[in-house]
Structure 1
């Protein structure tokens, strides 16, 4: 399966995602792009979904709109309806987890905070642990919304966290197989570093003719938006502290983004086999 792709292919995939706009269409899209892995397609879809939520966030968080959602929800609770939030989220094209958070905020404001917005930390805790919600019917609705949303909210965060650990473990296992000496993020933080890649090689290697001092593992697809943010918030900071390094986008990336090789940051979609050790005695 191809994971690196040309920008033109990426844009063709986006066109189809925007045409269908449901995750269930991914197998159909996959048939039109047989060389692209499902992990890449799933990651691209999730990224587009999250972009859409960010763009429309302001509309749904208007005070009158939130109150309308809450009123509709409570009417459903009173009449004994089921899966109210899931149906409403589909109707208004909003993430079920985001809608659940809006409802939780408004419910707390009406019942415990005299109409004022509740502390964000309180809402976040209830979203992570719906069993703490006092009203059983509301707790079930919030919980179902969270479980139905693998693109946003607590479930999405757990999936990302799990994938991140899985592929970081895969990277470390590969480094061990090659007999490469390294230190991890926790060890670097213990030494006082505030910006830390996943891996700092104790003895640099060369990949594609470029020296590699550090490796960052990303269990996602490298699109233009996320890669630009990572460069700004992470990768250039690593370069400043540790010199040139490598980013692995395990689910692939847009080939045209790999433009900083001569500046000290190269992209790969797997750990390369053709490494060159800086010290021949370590072979």
Structure 2
């Protein structure tokens, strides 16, 4: 039974682990030098360089933190690319007509423009296609089948580029699509597939533990709008020891699968768009970021974030695995609210 002294407090609680912030920051510095048109840099080498930076200063802390891997480096790169594209989208959008003129009149290639503006080729390709007059649905169709769809849809435009320029544009866009990377159809398909695979992995782990739950699809059948991947039929009690060796306990009512790395920006975004709603509707929960998280991210936002972010951060745990490493899971068959009231009297 929980005692008053061991009950989870409203403040943020953190599972031990995560990638050291200094290692994460070092990787971001290394990634900043990777050209935007390089879809798949040597992530293993980047991870090695990042985690061995200032190794002597960190060696006492490394044992209690996650080891940065190539998979984590790839996920971090995806986060940073997405953030950069969002941050600079307006700038590139307003310059798209100018870029199209340079492409047509000056012969500047799509790849050259990509490197110059530090924007992924397929993202820039979408903007150039919009600049010639295609709608967003047309752009999606073109990227799926460049050689067929671009000539067909461009023929319907009142001011389509000259056939030679259009052919060169098609070749450059096809090259960008084949190369992959952020914004390409292949990357979008892969991201969805990885997300579904890890969601299935979460369900498999829950079933192996004998935990009853409702899936996101089950909840949507009940016309629930924003839903976690798994709503637990009865809460789980998570018990672990913090960095000072103290026993910590926390109820979770839901688990959400994230096939991504959790950094400060992505955590804040998830708090606002998802976790706050889940917590207010179902109670505290657990977000599993399968590709890791920055150590201290939850505590930081619980203490320094905006009001909604602080509230959500105080109601969610972040882990890089399920069940979380070093954590005891206890299945409860009791009325949690009544249990908490009883504990408060002891």
Instruction: Give the alignment's TM-score, normalised by structure 1.
Output: 0.83
From the superposition, tell whether residues 146 and 76 of structure 1 become closer, same or farther in structure 2 (CA, over 3 Å): farther
For the pair 1:95 / 2:123, whether they are aligned, the reply is no
For 2:199, the equivalent position in structure 1 comes to 168
For the pair 1:147 / 2:178, whether they are aligned, the reply is yes
Report deviation, 1:27. 3.1
State how 1:40-79 maps to structure 2 within 5 Å.
40-62=72-94, 65-74=95-104
Farther off after superposition, 180-189 or 265-274: 265-274
For 2:254, the equivalent position in structure 1 comes to 214
For 1:140 and 1:250, how far apart are their aligned partners in 2?
A: 37
Q: Deviations over 1:220-277 (max 9, x none)?
A: 0000001000000001101111111100010010121133599321111101262111
Farther off after superposition, 244-253 or 200-209: 200-209
As a proportion of its length, which structure holds more helix? 1
For the pair 1:16 / 2:16, whether they are aligned, the reply is no
For 1:279, the equivalent position in structure 2 comes to 333
Q: Deviations over 1:166-193 (max 9, x none)?
A: 1011111111111111111111001010
SS state at 2:234 partner = strand
From the superposition, tell whether residues 3 and 169 of structure 1 become closer, same or farther in structure 2 (CA, over 3 Å): farther
For 1:76 and 1:3, how far apart are their aligned partners in 2?
A: 52
For 2:224 and 2:89, how far apart are their aligned partners in 1?
A: 35
For the pair 1:28 / 2:45, whether they are aligned, the reply is yes
**Residues 248 and 268 in structure 1, CA contact (< 8 A), matched pair in contact too:** yes
Report deviation, 1:213. 1.0
Report deviation, 1:66. 2.1
Which structure has the greater CA radius of gyration? 2
**Residues 104 and 123 in structure 1, CA contact (< 8 A), matched pair in contact too:** yes
Q: Deviations over 1:185-206 (max 9, x none)?
A: 1110010100100011112211
SS state at 2:204 partner = helix
Work out which structure has the larger RCO, using CA pairs closer than 8 Å and 6 or more positions apart in sequence: 2
SS state at 1:127 partner = helix
For 2:83 and 2:218, how far apart are their aligned partners in 1?
A: 34
SS state at 2:321 partner = coil
SS state at 1:254 partner = coil
**Stretches of structure 1 lacking an aligned partner (at least 5 in a row):** 110-117
CA RMSD of aligned residues (A): 2.7
**Residues 50 and 152 in structure 1, CA contact (< 8 A), matched pair in contact too:** no
**Residues 44 and 69 in structure 2, CA contact (< 8 A), matched pair in contact too:** no
For 1:20 and 1:139, how far apart are their aligned partners in 2?
A: 26
From the superposition, tell whether residues 20 and 126 of structure 1 become closer, same or farther in structure 2 (CA, over 3 Å): closer
SS state at 1:24 partner = coil
**Residues 182 and 199 in structure 1, CA contact (< 8 A), matched pair in contact too:** yes
For 2:141, the equivalent position in structure 1 comes to 125
Report deviation, 1:153. 4.2
Q: Deviations over 1:58-82 (max 9, x none)?
A: 33222xx3233223433588xxx9x
**Residues 20 and 294 in structure 2, CA contact (< 8 A), matched pair in contact too:** yes
SS state at 1:196 partner = coil
For 1:85, the equivalent position in structure 2 comes to 110
Q: How many residues align?
A: 263
**Residues 199 and 215 in structure 1, CA contact (< 8 A), matched pair in contact too:** yes
Q: Deviations over 1:74-122 (max 9, x none)?
A: 3588xxx9xx423432233221111111221122x2xxxxxxxx43333
For 1:89 and 1:3, how far apart are their aligned partners in 2?
A: 37
